[in-house]
Amino acid sequence: MPFLRPALHPGARAAAVLALLVGQSAQAQTFHSLNTGREIGFVSFGVVLHSAAVVRSMGNHHHTLPSDASRVPTIDRIALTQWDPGAHSASNVLFGLTAAGSLALGFVNQHGQQPLLPAAISLETVLLTSGLTNVVKEWVGRPRPYAYNPDVPEHLRMEDKAYLSFWSGHTANTAALTFSTAAMVQRSDASPGLKTATWIGAATLPAAMGFLRVKAGRHFPTDVLTGYLIGAVVGVAVPYFHRSEKNPLPR
């Protein structure tokens, strides 16, 4: 599914998909619900964030290779010597598998009632998370760890994307997907065992992603820790605002 691939600015594409899902999910009952006015607000905010990031990225960027590693916080220095393209590829695979698994679990957990609703909420969550991430990345302009590494080819160290380290988008979006799925499963009639397993997955998958991003030399530990926190907060918050008043949580 094309819209599951990580993209720098997927606002318009996600907004179109969400519009279709809202229209298809209008009547069935579930423990969460969609409201056209609310969804327009969430999606519009996400599109604005992505647009702001695009505008910022269009500016003239003049990069100077960072050389003073002493300015890097102690907690982050472990990343300065990391460079593993295989870990980068593995992180992309992990994101794709996480997205597919989260959407599949949400679909199955609906038991045929409004089966596409979790996909709409998950896409909305990622739209907001990636929008926030891209805006912050563009404005902060933090060099990635490999920009400090003389063993990495200089042309890679000078690219614009080498100065978009804070915070980790892979980690944030993975946490957003897993925590939004766990929050929706928690507010359902799923078994206690499934709820527990979903929360365990929600906590561990973004942590694994963070490890891969540091090992790849793409992010510092503080990048992935911040991304984990932001993604988790948005992932829990968006389903919270979609609670169904007509069909409250079963006791």
| pLDDT value of position 22 | 45
Q: What confidence tens digit (pLDDT) does each residue in 153-171 have?
A: 999 999 999 999 999 999 9
What's the one-letter identity of residue 204?
T
Hey, what CATH topology would domain 11-58+81-240 get?
Vanadium-containing Chloroperoxidase; domain 1 (1.20.144)
| pLDDT value of position 115 | 86
Q: What confidence tens digit (pLDDT) does each residue in 31-67 have?
A: 999 999 999 999 999 999 999 999 999 986 788 999 8
| pLDDT value of position 112 | 86
Closest CA to 34 of 182, 238, 201: 238
| pLDDT value of position 67 | 83
Q: Judge whether 203 and 183 are in contact, CB under 8 Å.
A: no
| pLDDT value of position 1 | 41
Q: What confidence tens digit (pLDDT) does each residue in 190-232 have?
A: 999 999 999 999 999 999 999 999 999 999 999 999 999 999 9
Question: Taking the mean position of all CA atoms in its chain, how far away is CA 227?
Answer: 8
Average pLDDT rounded to a whole number, residues 86-99:
98
Over 70: is that where the pLDDT of 138 sits? yes
Q: Judge whether 184 and 109 are in contact, CB under 8 Å.
A: yes
Higher-pLDDT residue of 243, 248 = 243
Q: Domain boundaries in the chain?
A: 11-58+81-240
